[in-house]
């Protein structure tokens, strides 16, 4: 067997050759890091995506292998400055300022004038980010956007952002809003993760109020914090971030990870905690033979009515879609559902709360009702040796030697969002084993897992069993 160093080199060389040949086949060349980000349709090819993941995993593992360990770990400890720098870039509208300046870039003196900040401090922050391939230094003290920084751009003019800062993220991709949320309140709360975990009063708590977020901002939960006077911008940004998260994560697994066609005509799908019903809207378009009900808090349902009156008013008039106010911590009133569908709900809650939600649904379920959760599935960094092979969809092809089972940073979205949930609400994303344990005693059993290569979330399909 080859050494880890040479094996990683082989993965990189063969992967790069495949990527370049795929682009050439489509009459394109792989974009420079100095170009602005523009997705290409053929980049969603499953084989190409897998190859890119292998290259990412191999490159990061190669760096970790060859970089001296003290240097590697110390730099990891310093990495929070990248988040802090990104917060500055977003708050000062630097991506928009540099977009308006054009590809030739702008000197830090002019950048400082336009954003009202000390130019030398702004320059140091931009240089740190550019050193890590976000922004680029065109010439000494002259900076421009690149592939990495272009995703921070809202696409709006600097003048409009200054005139109406609170609506900065409205009608945008939502990606800058996600990054803003992470580098603002989430990062501030993350500072207290160790304090919270090592404090005997909060270490093992299952209460949302005992989260690092609550400790940081002296509030019961994130929702209370966002609704406090003075946080109007953060609340608007969170709405845009949720929209952007839905777009970036996609609904591919939702649409294909379960055999919706197998449900009988007019079978009822209840979207529990479904917000305004955006996931239901997509399901209904692909599977119009089903009936749908969207449940959420009454205030959210008021917004859902407006959403559906614009998107598909006939669905409400015909009764194909119903919108109902409901608190999922209360008994479930619907007794004839074929599917209880929860998208991004269970990950918001610690186990004790999540089990309460699941038990209420089981109490109202029929023997053939399915519980379907659309959440991240945290992959183990170690190989599980077919530990869950009895569950269809649990096993995935192993990456080539010597890559980690979860391909390292390829799985960052799952493992980092898991810590995000811990910080915000004592909640979590879960591994297969943790989902199995979660269902124990709730009347549900994990039956299968539906995946799609384009989605970082999966569909976990639970069968009703006796308590």
- Asked if the structure places residue 285 within a domain, the reply is yes
- Asked if the structure places residue 399 within a domain, the reply is yes
pLDDT per residue of the chain (467 residues) written in tens, 0 to 9: 789 999 999 999 999 999 999 999 999 999 999 999 988 777 778 999 999 999 999 999 999 999 999 999 999 999 999 999 999 999 999 999 999 999 999 999 999 999 999 999 999 999 999 999 999 999 999 999 999 999 999 999 999 999 999 999 998 988 999 999 999 999 999 999 999 999 999 999 999 999 999 999 999 989 899 989 999 999 999 888 876 666 556 688 999 999 999 999 999 999 999 988 989 999 999 999 999 999 999 988 998 999 999 999 999 999 999 999 999 999 999 999 999 999 999 999 999 999 999 999 999 999 999 999 999 999 999 998 889 999 999 999 999 999 999 999 999 999 999 999 999 999 999 999 999 999 999 999 999 999 988 788 999 999 999 87
Environment class of 313 (CB within 10 Å of its CB; exposed 0-12, middle 13-18, buried 19+): exposed
Cβ-contact 156, 96 below 8 angstroms = yes
Q: What is the CATH number of the domain that holds 123?
A: 1.10.10.10
Same domain, 392 and 285: yes
Is 360 designated active site?
A: no
Same domain, 456 and 361: yes
Same domain, 243 and 361: no
- Asked if the structure places residue 168 within a domain, the reply is no
Same domain, 287 and 383: yes
Cβ-contact 421, 415 below 8 angstroms = no
Same domain, 187 and 113: no
Listing from the earlier edge strand, what are the strands of the sheet with 457-464?
Answer: 321-325, 291-296, 268-272, 339-343, 370-376, 457-464, 444-450
- Of 404, 427, 415, the closest CA to residue 344 belongs to 427
- Asked if the structure places residue 165 within a domain, the reply is no
Q: Which one of 181, 347, 360, 452 is the catalytic residue? A: 347
pLDDT at position 246, please? 61
Neighbours of 255 (CB within 10 A): 19
Same domain, 301 and 427: yes
Q: Which domain holds residue 38?
A: 4-74
Q: Which two tokens stand for residue 339?
A: 């599917």
- Asked if the structure places residue 305 within a domain, the reply is yes
Same domain, 288 and 397: yes
Same domain, 303 and 193: no
* H-assigned helices in 183-292: 187-190, 193-198, 212-217, 222-226, 232-249, 252-256, 278-286
Q: Are strands 106-107 and 136-139 parallel, antiparallel or unpaired?
A: unpaired
Same domain, 145 and 83: yes
Same domain, 361 and 431: yes
Same domain, 37 and 58: yes
How many domains in the chain? 4
- Asked if the structure places residue 166 within a domain, the reply is no
Domain-terminating residue out of 25, 52, 74: 74
- Asked if the structure places residue 389 within a domain, the reply is yes
Domain-terminating residue out of 122, 153, 184: 153
Cβ-contact 320, 291 below 8 angstroms = yes
- Of 96, 78, 92, the closest CA to residue 149 belongs to 96
Beta-bridge mates of residue 392: none
- Asked if the structure places residue 170 within a domain, the reply is no
How would you label 165-179 residue by residue, b for 16+ Cβ within 10 Å and e otherwise?
A: eebbbbebbbbbbbb
pTM (2 d.p.): 0.93
Same domain, 323 and 181: no
Q: What is the CATH number of the domain that holds 306?
A: 3.40.50.150
Domain-terminating residue out of 74, 92, 109: 74
């Amino acid at each position: 067997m080859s050494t880890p160093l040479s094996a990683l080199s082989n993965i990189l060389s063969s992967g790069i050759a495949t990527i370049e040949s795929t682009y050439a086949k489509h009459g394109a060349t792989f974009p420079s890091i100095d170009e602005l980000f523009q997705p290409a349709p053929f980049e969603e090819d499953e084989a190409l995506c897998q190859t890119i993941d292998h290259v990412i995993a191999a490159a990061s593992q190669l760096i970790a292998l060859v970089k001296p360990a003290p240097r590697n770990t110390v730099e990891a400890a310093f990495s929070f400055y990248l988040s802090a720098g990104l917060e500055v870039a977003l708050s000062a509208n630097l991506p928009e300022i540099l977009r308006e300046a054009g590809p030739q870039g702008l000197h830090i003196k002019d950048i400082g004038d336009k954003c009202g900040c000390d130019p030398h401090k702004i320059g140091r922050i931009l240089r740190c980010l550019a050193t890590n391939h976000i922004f680029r230094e065109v010439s000494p003290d002259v900076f421009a956007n690149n592939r990495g920084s272009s995703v921070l751009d809202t696409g709006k003019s600097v003048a409009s952002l200054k005139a109406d800062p609170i609506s900065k993220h409205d009608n945008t991709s939502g990606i800058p809003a996600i990054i803003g949320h992470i580098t603002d309140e989430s990062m501030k709360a993350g500072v207290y993760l160790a304090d919270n975990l090592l404090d005997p009063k909060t270490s093992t708590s299952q209460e949302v109020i005992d989260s690092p977020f609550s400790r940081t901002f002296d509030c019961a939960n994130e929702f209370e914090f966002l609704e406090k006077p003075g946080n109007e911008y953060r609340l608007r940004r969170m709405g845009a971030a949720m929209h952007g998260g839905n777009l970036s994560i996609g609904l591919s697994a939702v649409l294909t990870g379960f055999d919706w066609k197998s449900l009988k005509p007019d079978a009822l799908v209840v979207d529990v905690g479904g917000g305004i019903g955006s996931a239901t809207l997509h399901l209904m378009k692909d599977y119009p033979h089903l009936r749908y009900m969207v449940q959420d808090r009454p205030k959210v349902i008021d917004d859902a009515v407006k959403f559906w009156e614009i998107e598909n008013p006939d669905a409400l008039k015909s009764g194909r879609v119903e919108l109902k106010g409901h608190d999922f911590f209360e008994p479930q009133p619907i007794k004839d559902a074929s599917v209880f569908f929860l998208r991004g709900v269970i990950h918001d809650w610690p186990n004790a709360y999540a089990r309460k939600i699941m038990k209420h649904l089981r109490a109202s379920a029929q023997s053939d009702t399915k519980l379907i959760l659309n959440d991240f599935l945290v992959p183990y960094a170690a190989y599980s040796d077919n530990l869950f092979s009895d569950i269809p969809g649990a096993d995935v092809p192993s990456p080539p030697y010597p890559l980690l089972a979860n391909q390292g940073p390829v799985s960052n979205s799952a493992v980092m969002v898991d810590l995000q949930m811990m910080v915000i609400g004592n909640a979590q994303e879960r591994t297969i084993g943790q989902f199995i344990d979660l269902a124990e005693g709730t009347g549900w059993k994990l039956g299968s897992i539906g995946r799609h290569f384009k989605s970082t979330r999966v569909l976990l399909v639970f069968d009703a069993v006796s308590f």
